[in-house]
A and B are shown apart, each in its own frame.
Chain A
């Protein structure tokens, strides 16, 4: 038995309605795929962005706020550590480096962050061009910063506006500092918001804000070691412990009354669980949409098959067994469901891709999309559900006696 010929005729007869059904199935499947793929990519992307920030020491407060500010460069009200704690942390011996992060200034939408050369080296794994900053007036640009090597600029006070990445240096309330910075190097792409940042020596940030510069008066050297009594407070310090046991030791040691210490992964866990919750809710919506679509299509298909009652009865009169009628109906819907699910997979992947690009543009976090087992399982589950549902109209056609249809009733 091969119902293909008759199934094909049925699909041709109703190609308009079937195209709409196909589109509905594809969109319903796509929603699930896009939500799931996007969430997974977001998780991976944000984890990768946090990768290089082994241990963060900051003033007590919200780990999430500090994480958002330090790693994702989303400025918020992060309290400063005391100068004494800062000086002690910067002098921590059990680390490869302890890098202060000082921010607040920006240039053409790129946040300017003060830190040390070792951190830049660690973050980007070497520069792609030029050289590391060697003086307070020099800067290293992130891979995506729109400024040429050798270009000079005046930083604008205040953070880059996070809702508008365009040049807002001219906005009221932003004034330019008199210092001139020159870009001497460019980082390799990191796939993190730091690609959009300009990193300068921390001393330069301190000086611009009329703070002690971390070194004895008159000294122009930059970077560690710092003179403890000349160190102002900073919002966060990134430590690179030498070993895992050191990392845990340091975290314990810096969890004190006036400081907190955490691995970024700890701060991300609640964010992930929130994202997971959102994904679960969205997936539930997507499933509900899919169930609705399948039900609606089922009703449509049953209505269409009603028009074919006579045709099926004729096939029976010509010698078709009942199972053949079942197979004709099932084949048509199965093709619809499978083609729709595959189209949905492609459509969902496409939608997630576009969303990722938009997200990367807005945050600097590069998202690597993968259509993995989870998404395939979603689509396969949907298709299976559709196939099971198509048994209903197929069974209806199977059970209908040919007599009434032949009598024209």
Chain B
């Protein structure tokens, strides 16, 4: 796989930071009553870890991913990436941190259906810069290539579901972020597309030393992750265990 190291240097990404979550609790309001959606005493992930979040629907997997990305502020506790508590930062600093460190993949892809695949991949490039250089375009193209997405110019809305998720994956990896968060990335894919996505996630951690955390029900994906955290009602059902 071609991920030039000069690229990392330019966007300021280094090796994956270590994750440490302490006494985390997230509270939501439901019809005026507040309840605890997430209550995690401790969670750690070494740089390059592959962690699967599992558990029944509604157990708090997505919520945990959003907290790890700094999108939901916990009621208590700290989320430290590389020793730094991301909720101690100001909002714009956290935005900048997220932009530099986190890639995100959703169950339903969340592409801009009106834009072609290539432009979808390039969207994150417009967050911090005015013009998209040729180098970045070339990288976007090679990522699409790598994931076997045909280089069609039509709107991404016309791609198959599998193709759309691979475009979303390319988008998440445009800046080669040290941390990749994926929320049930294979749940709405056929087996073949799912395999491509799983392979990309697994190899990313194993070969490139990036941290991958994926919420999933997909055994094919769980198998390829190094460890697993099973959640139940927002709590760890069992201590994180190493996958077979």
Contact = CB atoms under 8 A, between A and B. Distances in A.
Interface of A: 1-6, 8-9, 12-13, 310-311, 313-324, 402-403, 406-407
Which interface residue of B66, B92, B130 has the most chain A CB atoms within 10 A?
B66
Interface of B: 62-63, 66, 69, 71-72, 91-92, 95-96, 98-100, 102-104, 106, 110, 112-115, 119, 122-124, 126-131, 171-172
A148 B130 CA distance: 69
A17 to B, nearest CB: 14
Contact of B123 (A6, A310, A316, A322): A6
Contact of A318 (B119, B131, B172): B172
Nearest to A3: B126
Contact of B71 (A9, A12, A310, A317): A317
Ranked nearest first, the 5 interchain pairs of A and B with the lowest CB-CB distance are: A319-B99, A12-B114, A321-B95, A9-B112, A314-B110
Contacts of B96: 321
Contacts of B113: 13
Nearest to A328: B126
A321 B128 CA distance: 9
Nearest to A320: B127
A283 to B, nearest CB: 39
28 contacts: A1-B129, A2-B130, A5-B112, A5-B115, A5-B122, A8-B114, A8-B115, A9-B112, A13-B113, A13-B114, A313-B71, A314-B104, A315-B123, A316-B71, A316-B95, A317-B71, A319-B98, A319-B100, A319-B124, A320-B99, A321-B95, A321-B127, A322-B91, A322-B95, A323-B92, A324-B127, A403-B71, A406-B71
B51 to A, nearest CB: 18
A9 B115 contact: yes
A150 B123 CA distance: 78
A8 B92 CA distance: 25
Contact of B114 (A9, A322, A323): A9
A271 to B, nearest CB: 55
Contact of B131 (A2, A8, A12): A2
B92 A319 contact: no
Given A5-B122, A317-B69, A321-B127, 9 more contacts: A5-B112, A6-B123, A9-B114, A314-B110, A320-B127, A321-B95, A321-B96, A324-B126, A403-B71
A2 B103 CA distance: 19
Nearest to B98: A319
A319 B62 contact: no
Contacts of B103: 318
Given A5-B115, A9-B112, A318 B123 contact: yes
Contacts of B99: 319-321
Contacts of A316: 71, 95
B120 to A, nearest CB: 9
B171 A318 contact: yes
A36 to B, nearest CB: 38
Contacts of B92: 321-323
Contacts of A321: 92, 95-96, 99, 127
Which interface residue of A6, A8, A322 has the most chain B CB atoms within 10 A?
A6
A321 B94 CA distance: 9
Contact of A406 (B62, B122, B127, B171): B62
A311 B71 contact: no
Contacts of B110: 310-311, 314
A406 B123 contact: no
A1 B130 contact: yes
A319 B66 contact: no
B68 to A, nearest CB: 11
Contacts of A317: 66, 69, 71, 98, 104, 106
Which interface residue of B66, B98, B114 has the most chain A CB atoms within 10 A?
B114
Contacts of B115: 5, 8-9
B106 A314 contact: yes
Contact of A6 (B102, B112, B129, B171): B112
A403 B28 CA distance: 10
B71 A6 contact: no
A5 B66 contact: no
A1 B128 contact: yes
A12 B112 CA distance: 10
B56 to A, nearest CB: 17
A189 B131 CA distance: 58
Contacts of A319: 95, 98-100, 102, 124, 127
Contacts of A4: 126
A343 B147 CA distance: 45
Given A5-B122, A13-B114, A406 B130 contact: no
Contacts of A320: 95, 99, 124, 127
A402 B98 contact: no
A406 B66 contact: yes
Contacts of A407: 62-63
B127 A5 contact: no
Contacts of A406: 62, 66, 71
B171 to A, nearest CB: 7
Contacts of B106: 314, 317
Nearest to B63: A407
A8 B100 CA distance: 25
Nearest to A402: B71
Contacts of B123: 5-6, 315, 318
Contacts of B71: 313, 316-317, 402-403, 406
A205 to B, nearest CB: 75
B103 to A, nearest CB: 8
A322 B95 CA distance: 8
A404 B92 CA distance: 19
A314 B102 CA distance: 13
Contacts of A402: 71
A248 B90 CA distance: 78
A311 B109 CA distance: 11
Contacts of A403: 66, 71-72
Contacts of A323: 92
